[in-house]
Amino acid sequence: MHFCKKYELDQSRTHLLLSELESVQKNTRFAITWKEIKEISESQKKKRLAKFGSEPNHLALGMIVKYIYCDKELVKLLQISKKVNERLRRPIYKQALLLSQPERLSTKRNGIWRCLLNLNHNDRDYDAFKQKVLNDHTLIKNVEEVIVLDVQRSVHNMQGVDPQELTNVLKTYAYFNQEIEYCQGMNFIVGFLLMVFRDEELAFKALNELVERFNMADLFNSDLPRLKLFFYQLDRLISIVEPDLHAHFKDEMINASYFASAWFITIFTNSMKKPPSDLQAENSEPMPAVCENLLQLWDYFLVSGWKVVLKMGLFVLAHDAGTLMQQSFEEMLHIVSEKPKILLCTHGVKIRPPQRKEDDGKPTTLYKTLKETF
């Protein structure tokens, strides 16, 4: 009925179609049995219990959070009690990040990220680890040279990032997490975190939390098991969402491993670039260090995980699918590698679903776009 109203459909006709569909479904081998319906319902109930607890008040509040759009009301929920705060903190932060308008979100994003990544309660002593590395370079001798070279290659695209601060965080983390040490691509993530938090210690703690929470150790592992899984998943999704493009990729002997490794390893932060000097000169106000689109992608990633990178990858490909179909091997790889820089890291670019390419004046966010598209 919601869609009838939204798309101005005839309700009686819709009722009839649904009844016919139900009748057909009951006579096919694909019909969902009452037993399966009950199992689905029980599964959803278990998820709600795991997320919000068994207390009726917590369950009820948890289920209505996504319908509250006022920041003040969301904050009031967190202040009800300690237990409510513990149970609802993450859903409320998710609501605030994904459904706030960019102009409102810009003033509170930093604080929400700190809470989501638990940075205010992370008691690891960054300065102590940092001093150990500075006093004894042999502790990270295996990766020190690579870190220095990667910082030199990447820092010119990171507006306002001090190369020494970036080097300090990467070296300290290499010593702190000796299982991973350093992997190429971390320099972009840490540079991005420094641009957001403007603080070495917060960037270090955020990197540590990201690696632990999103199992990035498997992504940075020398055997790359998680990265290979992502390549397979992305290839399968391309075949479903863009079958013609997938067939063209096969003809040109291209798969996701040719272009998507940096998307996953850096979570698109390798696309960062400084705005042109002439563009900065035209603006009376200073340009923000990080484009809003990239920040919105990270908002979505922090609360929803790796599926966001897959969705964004599909959007990049679908955005120029028609053009890619006409290109050769080298031309396709160039377009696909450059497109995230245009979509995510060019100031003023609006990302809209394919069916809404023109600016119709309706407010949108990257989260809404990706959700509407896929």
Within 10 A of 49 (CB to CB), how many other CB atoms are there? 13
What domains are there in the chain, each with its CATH number? 33-99 (no CATH), 126-213 (1.10.8.270), 220-373 (1.10.472.80)
CA distances from 168 to 107, 129, 130, 207, 210 (A): 28, 10, 7, 13, 18
What pLDDT, in 10s, does the model give residues 100-123? 877 788 888 999 999 999 998 888
Given a cut of 80, whether residue 364 has pLDDT beyond it is no
Distance in angstroms (rounded) separating the CA atoms of residues 125 and 224: 30
SS3 58: helix
Q: pLDDT tens-digit profile of 215-229?
A: 998 888 777 888 999
> How far from each other are the two terminal CA atoms of the chain, in whole angstroms?
22
Q: Which phi and psi (to 5°) does residue 32 adopt?
A: -90, 125
% of the chain exceeding 90 in pLDDT: 49
Q: How far apart are CA 11 and CA 263, in angstroms?
A: 44
For residue 248, what are the CA distances in angstroms to 47, 244, 252, 323, 357?
40, 6, 6, 12, 24
Main-chain dihedrals φ then ψ at residue 205, nearest 5 degrees: -65, -35
* Token pair listed for 367: 């989260």
Q: Give the pLDDT confidence score for residue 72 in this predicted structure.
A: 82
Cβ atoms of residues 325 and 244 within 8 Å:
yes
